[in-house]
């Protein structure tokens, strides 16, 4: 029954247009999505959603491990993507899916020997790149000899055309010339044009520091700019940061961006004063052109508003702006009353999506159905043009709060097709208390309170 509802919604969505005439629609599907980040991704064109699930959603899935699936929103079809050449489910866990702009190329991490082509029991997960049209799968995290790296690799991201893949790895043998920080994690880039791998977490001079680790990469649409977090000294000491790498107690995670054309590495998480950030910054997301980067930080001195609490906040870097912007700001302009994390960006960087425990992001008084009293993480979308923040996870059209946590948000290029996971029951029959997949089609700026439907598409 849920199958038919999804297919009907998908066909209606295709007929009415992706943005749905700037009104709000939602589809819920009992797909037992794995919780956490990143377990959901949306193609730039808004057509397909990739996700991780423990459930057997296809006839070929004969195990209970985490598999990669893809939902086509124009047809309602769900396909098993972490499958062997024989079309059966792989024997090991697969995670962290990311899709190219048109959904053709898929990357993910896996421990399945049948997918990697070799046992990874000793090394851990490896990264694969799969062409969904030809069916060809290529090992991304390989040595110069073509064998799997000698350490764990994961958290991949992919350029819009599918050519470039960035990933985090603890392997020490992916590139020639040794590994200065040993088994510490680094960021690498795979070029599908020639199969070459390059280390990205290096200084502007191209050097890999002997200390520090790098994590959580994201790549711009063209593959030119890669952003990531790192504890390594990738930029030289400056007036803004004179000594925050002086000793173990001072080492913090910062967000960096590397321009692969210019060969330049620069720190994005800069403070408003001359003392350097006083907290960690991590988990960046990047706009299509690489000019805007959103990230999480516990620092209290990144913008002009002093804060006493070291909770997680979302900040936005813009190459055209002199300072960072606090995105997870209360409706009154002050500090949020809860932590925010895991940002995602629309292609142009206008919309910043994230999860938050805060209850004061959307309104200040007389909130009606917009009041947030559930004390769990909700999904929000901040519009950097209008300055409004709208809660996405909520009862459709009334926007009342859900009483279960939501996480793992991703969006298409426009910022209108949004997918995430939530433990909120999809209907009265949903008693499993597991995470399900939610896909919403949003207007340019969702209104707090009622959002008028733009058609008679089913809500399930």
- Of 312, 175, 183, 325, residue with least CA distance to 253: 312
Q: Give per-residue pLDDT as tens, 265-282.
A: 999 999 887 678 999 999
Question: In this structure, is residue 143 part of a structural domain?
Answer: yes
Integer Cα distance of 57 and 30 in angstroms: 10
Tokens coding 55: 């459930």
- By residue range, what is the domain housing residue 60? 30-199
Question: In this structure, is residue 78 part of a structural domain?
Answer: yes
pLDDT of the residue at 1: 27
Total domains in the fold of the chain: 1
Cα 204 to Cα 165, 235, 274, 427: the distances in Å are 21, 8, 22, 53
Q: Give per-residue pLDDT as tens, 174-232.
A: 999 889 999 999 999 999 999 999 999 999 999 999 999 999 999 999 999 999 999 99
pLDDT of the residue at 308: 63
- Of 347, 402, 413, 350, residue with least CA distance to 379: 402
Please state the separation of Cα 278 from the chain's center in Å. Answer: 25
Most distant CA pair in the chain, distance: 64
Q: Give per-residue pLDDT as tens, 97-129.
A: 999 999 999 999 999 999 998 888 888 999 999
| Look-up of token digits 């990205």 | 200
Question: In this structure, is residue 99 part of a structural domain?
Answer: yes
- Of 369, 368, 359, residue with least CA distance to 334: 359
Question: In this structure, is residue 304 part of a structural domain?
Answer: no
Integer Cα distance of 24 and 454 in angstroms: 7
Integer Cα distance of 9 and 45 in angstroms: 18
Provide the 8-state DSSP code for 304. Answer: S
Neighbours of 377 (CB within 10 A): 22
Per the CB < 8 A criterion, the answer to whether 20 and 441 are in contact is yes
* Region of residue 36 (phi > 0: left; psi between -120 and 50: alpha; otherwise: beta): left
Q: Give per-residue pLDDT as tens, 243-265.
A: 444 444 468 999 999 999 999 99
| Look-up of token digits 């920080």 | 181
Work out the percent of the chain whose per-residue pLDDT is above 90.
57
- Of 97, 91, 85, residue with least CA distance to 128: 97
The four Cα atoms 437, 356, 389, 448 give a dihedral, to 10 degrees, of: 60
Identify the sign of the CA torsion 172, 178, 183, 189: negative
- Of 275, 283, 223, 219, residue with least CA distance to 255: 283
Please state the separation of Cα 265 from the chain's center in Å. Answer: 22
Per the CB < 8 A criterion, the answer to whether 288 and 348 are in contact is yes
* Burial label, 22 (beta-carbon count in 10 A; 0-12, 13-18, 19+): middle
**pLDDT: which is higher, 157 or 76:** 157
Q: What values do phi and psi take at 4, rounded to 5?
A: -65, -40
Q: What values do phi and psi take at 318, rounded to 5?
A: -130, 125
Integer-rounded Cα radius of gyration of the chain: 21
pLDDT of the residue at 449: 35
pLDDT of the residue at 99: 98
| Look-up of token digits 């929000």 | 380
Per the CB < 8 A criterion, the answer to whether 435 and 19 are in contact is no
pLDDT of the residue at 402: 74
Q: Give per-residue pLDDT as tens, 130-183.
A: 999 999 999 999 999 999 999 999 999 999 999 999 999 999 999 998 899 999
Question: In this structure, is residue 171 part of a structural domain?
Answer: yes
Tokens coding 296: 């999480």
Question: In this structure, is residue 405 part of a structural domain?
Answer: no
* Sheet of 378-383, strand order: 340-345, 351-356, 378-383, 389-391
Residue 40 has pLDDT above 90, yes or no: yes
Per the CB < 8 A criterion, the answer to whether 110 and 83 are in contact is no
Integer Cα distance of 340 and 1 in angstroms: 36
Task: Assign 411 to helix, strand or coil.
Answer: strand
Residues in CB range of 426: below 8 A, 6 or more apart: 2, 28, 29, 30, 436, 460
Which residues does residue 356 pair with via DSSP β-bridges, in sequence order? 340, 378
The shares of helix, strand and coil residues in the chain, as percent rounded to the nearest 5, are 5, 35, 60
Q: State the chain's mean pLDDT as an integer.
A: 83
Question: In this structure, is residue 25 part of a structural domain?
Answer: no
pLDDT of the residue at 307: 66
Residues in CB range of 189: below 8 A, 6 or more apart: 164, 165, 166, 197, 198, 199, 200, 219, 223, 226, 260
Residues in CB range of 41: below 8 A, 6 or more apart: 49, 50, 51, 97, 98, 99, 410, 419
Question: In this structure, is residue 184 part of a structural domain?
Answer: yes
Domain at 89, CATH number: 2.120.10.30
């Amino acid at each position: 029954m849920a199958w038919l509802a999804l297919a009907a919604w998908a066909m209606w969505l295709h007929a009415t247009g992706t943005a749905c005439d700037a009104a709000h629609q939602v589809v819920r599907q009992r797909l037992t999505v794995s919780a956490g980040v990143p377990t959901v991704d949306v193609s730039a064109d808004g057509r397909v959603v990739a996700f991780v699930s423990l459930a057997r959603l296809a006839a070929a899935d004969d195990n209970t491990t985490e598999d990669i699936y893809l939902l086509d929103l124009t047809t309602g079809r769900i396909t098993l993507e972490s499958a062997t050449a024989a079309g059966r489910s792989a024997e090991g866990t697969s995670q962290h899916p990311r899709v190219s702009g048109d959904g053709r190329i898929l990357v993910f991490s896996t421990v399945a020997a049948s997918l990697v082509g070799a046992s990874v029991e000793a090394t851990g997960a490896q990264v694969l790149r799969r062409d969904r049209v030809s069916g060809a799968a290529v090992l991304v995290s390989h040595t110069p000899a073509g064998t799997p790296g000698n350490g764990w690799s994961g958290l991949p991201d992919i350029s819009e055309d599918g050519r470039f893949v960035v990933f985090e790895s603890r392997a020490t043998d992916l590139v020639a010339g040794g590994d200065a920080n040993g088994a510490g994690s680094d960021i690498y880039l795979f070029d599908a044009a020639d199969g070459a791998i390059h280390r990205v977490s290096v200084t502007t001079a191209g050097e890999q520091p002997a200390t520090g680790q790098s994590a959580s990469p994201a790549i711009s649409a063209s593959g030119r700019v890669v952003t990531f977090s790192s504890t390594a000294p990738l930029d030289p000491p400056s007036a803004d940061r004179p000594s925050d790498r002086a000793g173990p107690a001072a080492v913090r995670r910062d967000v960096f961006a590397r321009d692969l054309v210019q060969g330049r590495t620069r720190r994005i998480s800069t403070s408003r004063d001359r003392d350097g950030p006083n907290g960690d910054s991590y988990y960046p997301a990047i706009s299509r052109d690489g000019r805007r980067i959103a990230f999480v930080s516990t620092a209290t001195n990144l913008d002009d508003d002093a804060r006493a609490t070291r909770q997680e906040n979302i900040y936005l870097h813009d190459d055209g702006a002199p300072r960072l912007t606090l995105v997870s700001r209360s409706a009154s302009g002050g500090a949020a009353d809860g932590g925010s994390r895991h940002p995602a960006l629309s292609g142009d960087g206008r919309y910043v999506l994230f999860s938050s425990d805060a209850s004061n992001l959307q309104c200040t008084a007389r909130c009606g159905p917009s009041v947030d009293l559930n004390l769990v993480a909700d999904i929000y979308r901040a519009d950097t043009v209008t300055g409004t923040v709208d809660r996405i996870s909520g009862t459709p059209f009334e926007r009342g709060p859900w009483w279960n946590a939501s996480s793992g948000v991703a969006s298409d290029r426009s910022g209108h097709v949004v997918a995430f996971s939530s433990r909120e029951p999809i209907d009265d029959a949903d008693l499993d208390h597991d995470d399900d997949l939610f896909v919403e089609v949003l207007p340019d700026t969702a209104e707090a309170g009622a959002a008028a439907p733009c058609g008679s598409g089913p809500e399930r």
